[in-house]
A and B are shown apart, each in its own frame.
Chain A
Amino acid sequence: MGARPPHLLDFQDWTPERLGAILDNADTMLQVLDRPVKKVPALQGLTVCNAFFENSTRTRTSFELAARRMSADVLTFAAGASSVSKGESLRDTLEVLTSYKVDAYIVRHHAAGAAHLVARYSGKPVINAGDGRRAHPTQALLDAYTIRQEYGSLEGKKVAILGDVRHSRVARSNAELLPKLGAQVVLCGPTTLLPPGLAQMPGVTLTTDPREAVRGAHAVMALRLQRERMSGGFLGSLQEYADTYQVNDTLLKEAESGAIVLHPGPMNRDLEISSDAADGPQSRILKQVENGQAIRMSVLYHLLVGRN
Chain B
Amino acid sequence: MTPKATILTADEVRRALTRIAHEIIERNKGAENLALIGVHTRGIPLARRLAEKLSSLEGVDVPTGMLDITLYRDDLSEVAQQPIIRETQVPFDLRDRRVILVDDVLYTGRTVRAALDALIDLGRPAGIQLAVLVDRGHRELPIRADYVGKNLPTAASEVVKVKLQETDDVDSVELWDMEALR
Contact = CB atoms under 8 A, between A and B. Distances in A.
B39 to A, nearest CB: 15
A306 B39 CA distance: 21
B72 A40 contact: yes
A41 interface: yes
B138 to A, nearest CB: 24
B122 A35 contact: yes
Interface string B2-39: 00000000000000000000000000000000000000
Contacts of A25: 85
A305 B123 contact: no
Interface residues of B, number: 23
Contacts of A46: 77
Given A42-B76, A45-B77, A306-B78, A35 B83 contact: no
Contacts of B73: 42
The B interface, classified by DSSP as helix, strand, loop or mixed, is loop
Contacts of A96: none
Given A302-B82, A305-B82, A35 B121 contact: yes
A32 B121 CA distance: 9
B86 to A, nearest CB: 8
Interface in A18-59: 24-25, 28, 31-32, 35-37, 39-43, 45-46
Nearest to B124: A36
B81 A39 contact: no
Contacts of B82: 4, 301-302, 305-306
Nearest to A71: B71
Interface string B84-124: 01011000000000000000000000000000011011110
A237 interface: no
Contacts of B121: 35-37, 39-40
A308 interface: yes
B88 A306 contact: no
Contact of A32 (B71, B80, B117): B71
B77 A36 contact: no
B181 interface: no
B85 A28 contact: yes
Q: Among B72, B77, B120, B121, which residue has the most Cβ atoms of chain A within 10 A? A: B77
A301 B79 CA distance: 13
A305 B72 contact: no
A308 B88 contact: no
A32 B90 CA distance: 12
A118 B122 CA distance: 38
Contacts of B122: 35-37
Contacts of A86: none
Contacts of B88: 28, 31
A40 B118 CA distance: 8
A229 interface: no
Interface in A252-308: 301-302, 304-308
A301 B70 CA distance: 11
A249 B72 CA distance: 46
A70 B68 CA distance: 16
B71 A42 contact: yes
Q: Among A24, A42, A43, A70, which residue has the most Cβ atoms of chain B within 10 A? A: A42
A25 B83 CA distance: 11
B123 A306 contact: no
A307 B122 CA distance: 28
Interface in B131-162: none
Given A28-B85, A36-B122, A306-B82, A41 B77 contact: no
Given A25-B85, A28-B85, A28-B87, A306 B77 contact: yes
B115 to A, nearest CB: 13
A45 B76 CA distance: 11
A97 to B, nearest CB: 20
A42 B71 CA distance: 5
11 contacts: A25-B85, A28-B87, A37-B120, A37-B122, A40-B72, A41-B117, A42-B72, A43-B76, A305-B77, A306-B79, A306-B80
Closest 6 CB pairs of A and B: A40-B71, A37-B121, A42-B71, A306-B79, A28-B85, A306-B82
